[in-house]
Amino acid sequence: MRDDPSTGRVVLVGAPLGNLGDASTRLREVLSSADVVAAEDTRRLARLARDLGITVSGRVVSYFEGNDERRTPELVEALEAGSVVAVVTDGGMPSVSDPGFRLVRAALEAGFPVTAAPGPSAVTTALALSGLPSDRFVFEGFLPRTPSNRRSRLRELTAEPRTLVFFEAPHRIAGALADLAATFGDDRPAAVCRELTKTYEEVRRGPLAALAAWAVENEPRGEITLVVGGAPARPAARPGDDELRAAVAAHEAGGRSRRDAIQAVADEYGVKKREVYALVHSS
């Protein structure tokens, strides 16, 4: 890593998802002072700057999924010339299912520092609003576009115990929800988070089957983040009869009465007490 403060660096800038009030002071500072601003959509960047009352003084270049492979070497050249390169998307954090990752890798490989002016993220915002467990989650980005590939991907996730977060296009959300219900089960809890922080923000919570029916009837529009509950824990397999008898014997050897030993084993393995009793007394 280059230690000279005059060398170039990359700054990932978190842009508002929709509400301008979420724009940070650092976002304003970085966009105003960066030598180069790589924007997913240069027109939206111009509108954002105008709405925030700031002037982007650096060179503005487009940087989106269709040109990032070609544009990345140019941005690395700017870093080599000592430029501060800011990366900004249409909303949320760069490189999270948005342009930025390729430049981050290239900058790090070339020895340039990468930092962030962190801001809103649709992933964590939707997760927090969903009402589903948020202590452990996995972000899956966009599901495959074709139904067959989408169903194949979902089958790989059927046993995932963590809460799942997806991005989805509005014209595919009904099909995605139908496939999720068919793969994960109609009753798996989920939340469709639409137009987060914007005027028509909507969070629809419920079982997958109900959400799939709602999507067909309402054809939701706008940017959508989908949160789905993880797979429920499967009950442990019942131990064999010999294992249960051995467990009772071990408790008795430790000084417990047979009655207490049977109760302890029943609690430990989730087996009915009378079943353990019958096994012990039939041996």
Which residues are within 8 A (CB) of 41 and not within 5 positions of it... i.e. 6 or more apart? 62, 64, 90
The conformation of residue 20, written as its DSSP 8-state character, comes to: G
pLDDT value of residue 282: 83
Q: Band of the pLDDT at 4, cuts 50, 70, 90?
A: low
Mean pLDDT of 23-40: 97
Give the separation between CA 108 and CA 76, rounded to whole angstroms.
Answer: 10
Instruction: Tell me the C-alpha distance between 231 and 83, whole Å.
Output: 47
- What is the percentage of the chain residues whose pLDDT exceeds 90? 79
Written as one letter, the residue type at 79 is L
Choose among 73, 71, 103, 66: nearest CA to 87.
Answer: 103
Q: Contact, 60 vs 42, CB < 8 A?
A: yes
Instruction: Assess whether pLDDT exceeds 90 at residue 42.
Output: yes
pLDDT at 44: 96
Q: What is the per-residue pLDDT across 80-127, written as a single tens digit (0 to 9) for each?
A: 999 999 999 999 999 998 899 999 999 999 999 999 999 999 999 999
Helix axes 258-269, 241-253, angle to 10 degrees: 130
Are 91 and 20 a contacting pair, CB within 8 Å?
Answer: no
Residue 1: its pLDDT value, please? 46
- List, for residues 135-156, the tens digit of each pLDDT value: 999 999 999 999 999 999 999 9
Three-class SS state of 90: coil
pLDDT category, 268, cuts 50, 70, 90? confident
Residue 240 has pLDDT above 90, yes or no: no
Nearest C-alpha neighbor of 34 from the set 14, 59, 68: 59
Domains annotated on the chain, with CATH: 9-120 (3.40.1010.10), 123-228 (3.30.950.10), 241-282 (no CATH)
Query: Residue 205: how many CA atoms within 13 Å on its side-chain side?
Result: 9
C-alpha torsion sign, points 92, 97, 98, 102: positive
